[in-house]
Amino acid sequence: MPLMIQMTMVVVLFITGLVLLGSGLWIILTREYQETMRTLSVQSSRVSSKSLADLAVQPALEGASQLMDAITRMVQTALGMGAFLCVLGSLLCAASLWLSLRLG
C-alpha cells in the first residue's frame, strides 16, 4: 500500500511539473503585448511630431510615454513569471524522477 501512495505522489509531481513548465513556456512565447507596444510607438511618434507645433499636445505625449513604460514593465514581469514557472516545473519533474529512482 505505501508503494502505491508513493507512486501516486511521483505521478502527481511529474504532471504538476509538466503543467507548470508548459504554462511558463506559454507565457514566454505568446507575446501578447508586442502588438500593443508597436501600435503605441507609432501613435506616440505621430503625437510627438504634432507636439513640436502645438504645446497643448505635450501632456498627451507624456501620458503616452508613461503608458509605454508601464507596458514594458508589465511585459518584463510576465517574462519573469514565465521563467520562474519553467524553472519550478523543471525542478518538480526532476524531483519526481529522483523519487521514482529511489522507489526502484
Q: What is the separation, in whole angstroms, between the first and last Cα of the chain?
A: 15
Largest separation between any pair of C-alpha atoms in the chain: 80
Handedness of CA 72, 73, 76, 78 (dihedral sign): negative
- Give residue 104's pLDDT band: very low, low, confident or very high (50, 70, 90): confident
pLDDT tens readout for residues 35-68: 766 776 676 666 666 655 666 667 767 777 787 7
Let me know: does 61 contact 44? Beta carbons within 8 Å: yes
- Give the global pTM: 0.71
Would you list the domain boundaries of the chain?
A: 2-22+38-103
Q: Return the C-alpha cell found at 24.
A: 511558463
Quote the Cα angle for 45-33-64, to 5°: 30
pLDDT tens readout for residues 16-30: 999 999 999 998 888
pLDDT tens readout for residues 62-99: 777 787 777 778 777 888 898 999 999 999 999 999 99
DSSP state of 104: -
CB 31: neighbour CB atoms within 10 A?
12
